[in-house]
Structure 1
């Protein structure tokens, strides 16, 4: 059933012009470094946290993204979304670099705020010529895929032991630096 929905979304989607690139809801999360870094970082952080965070953190992001997307689609302006998106890259990078246990409610709260902001940006930039349901399905599927890439990639790196953890923390540091630059730009 899922492959059918993906094919259906690809066939029926028309170009969206998000971040200066044409594409559907499936493409939108891939057209901005801010979105890609944050979404991969959510997966990596969830792998680092382990336990229930492995699935709850990415699912919370997706749920909040859905809500934020709906708010953006109906045209409700919410201030500070671009700063929150840049902050999500910075703070997720810091969390990965810090590599300390974080209480699940704290991780979920942060992830919900970040997911809402990313979803709002996607929803607000949806072209009127696109089916809202297919657009949302597209950006949720791509986001979930980016979460899985971050989660699996981080898990494989962590598995390498101390050198892997240093590598992952270094990648978090790079994300934090990029997030800082985005926030200051």
Structure 2
């Protein structure tokens, strides 16, 4: 029985090892890119919440909703690279934390297309922040691949985490409580703007 439990945790352990390791080259495009989503609690909470919420909704939402976020995040990253003026970026990021936390806390489900569009809008704001704050470097493609792959990994962490929590006795209550905590963290972040 212990062996089966460990197989559920293997992807989580693999991700932790990847995040803890450092590149042999100092600040390559990929390294700077993959580290950026880990640099702020707002990004971490939103990305993990998307994975958790998609798992909570179930069905096709598990892969469509996070995929929409990553796709639109790339669009936002391109706008940020080009320094296009996008008003309300910080507000959009903080709202994503609050609303995703509330969606989890209240167990809100939407049609997959509506959920994908909603997180896609949030993805534009998050991607813009990553692209706008990109360090001066020639390899924007490597930087983008880095922040997009970390984002996808955080979605997986959220989805696997929610899946495991929902298997626990009173797992729904625990997941809803974690969603409420996420939303409260977003409210706190909003007061810091």
TM superposition shift of 1:13: 6.6
1:39 aligns with 2:47: yes
Does 1:126 find its partner at 2:123? no
Aligned length: 171
* Structure 1 ranges of 4+ moved more than 4 A: 10-13
What residue ranges of structure 2 are gaps of 5+ in the alignment?
Answer: 1-17
Partner Cα separation in structure 1 for residue 183 and residue 72 of structure 2: 22
In structure 1, C-alpha distance between the alignment counterparts of 2:164 and 2:51, rounded to whole Å: 12
Q: Does 1:173 align with 2:173?
A: no
Aligned pair partner of 1:144 in 145, 152, 170: 152
Q: Residue 49 of structure 1 aligns with which residue? A: 57
What root-mean-square deviation, in Å, do the aligned CA atoms of Structure 1 and Structure 2 show?
1.9
Matches within 5 A, 1:17-96: 24-96=32-104
Question: Does the CA-based 8 Å contact 2:165-2:175 persist in structure 1?
Answer: yes
Indicate if the aligned counterparts of 1:13 and 1:135 stay in contact, CA closer than 8 A. Answer: no
For the residues of structure 1 that align with 2:104 and 2:184, how far apart are their CA atoms?
12
Q: In the superposition, relative to structure 1, how do residues 178 and 15 fare at CA in structure 2: closer, same or farther (>3 Å)?
A: farther
What is the CA–CA distance in structure 2 between the aligned matches of 1:79 and 1:124, rounded to whole Å?
13
**1:99 partnered with 2:112:** no
Gapped runs of 5+ residues in structure 1? 1-5, 17-22
TM-score after normalising by structure 1 = 0.87
Structure 2 counterpart of 1:20: none
Cα 1:63–1:12, aligned 2, differ >3 Å: closer, same or farther?
farther
